[in-house]
Amino acid sequence: MTHAPQSSPQVVAHRGASEDAPEHTLAAYRKAIEDGADALECDVRLTADGHLVCVHDRRVNRTSNGRGAVSALELADLAALDFGSWKNRDAWRGRDEEPDWEHRPEDREGTSVLTLERLLELVSDAGRRVELAIETKHPTRWAGQVEERLLTLLKRFGLDAPATAAESPVRIMSFSARSLHRVRAAAPTLPTVYLVQWLSPRLRDGRLPAGVGIAGPSVRIVRSHPGYVERLKRAGHQVHVWTVNEPEDVDLCVRLGVDAIITNRPRAVLDQLGRRPSR
């Protein structure tokens, strides 16, 4: 089913165009921008020497050829690892085409660890408005240092104090209400998203932590409890749903009037929404 553009929610590339390229690599985010994604989603963790890097898991074992916790490794340690070859082998086996980054080994866009600073540079050079949804990962050994470093970096790019939340190209997401409270206290106009993995009794009526204006329920919640979206909307909140990859789930989100679809497949979702010519 194809939807008219006016019914389209924002399309957010989950860890970049992570179906097509290794997640959280520069190649994945370049692909998402080229595909027309409205926004990019990333997870951030703090290295042992104080750098914010885009890595989802607490440990690097799944997405690299190394081992260990991100928080115990320095940026130089992470830079020596390969964060992409596993995806190249699995995703491109048997295809006629090859990924672009195999033709550019000098910049290792598909295999190098990505810092948040480099991702912010990419977004600022995109040539159009591309928003960024940054998730702080918790629990963490660094407590409030993640948020402190994040806001310091956003300030360097002039992104820490938008006039209003609606004008901000950046939003901060977390499953941790405490993390969002820290962000709100230091940067009250930055929009925040409370991620929801399951519905507790205190959340069912559509309430969110104080000062948070956006709910981020999983697509499983939306499938099982579609009325939850209506309750959130009635409470005045936006709804950003993750991770929406199947066409029937895209249709469901559109019918329910969600504000953003977070997906590994931004190009396919944009096609379905009628915002790109069909391939």
Amino acid at 93: R
Q: Which two tokens stand for residue 271?
A: 């096609």
> If 0-12 CB within 10 Å is exposed, 13-18 middle and 19+ buried, where does residue 171 land?
buried
DSSP 11: E
> If 0-12 CB within 10 Å is exposed, 13-18 middle and 19+ buried, where does residue 180 land?
buried
Residue whose C-alpha is closest to residue 276's, from 18, 14, 38? 38
- Residue 120 to residues 17, 202, 263, Cα–Cα distance (Å): 16, 36, 20
Amino acid at 42: C
Catalytic residues: 14, 56
H helices present in the chain, as ranges? 26-35, 75-79, 85-92, 116-124, 145-156, 177-186, 219-224, 226-234, 247-256, 266-272
Residue whose C-alpha is closest to residue 192's, from 203, 207, 182? 182
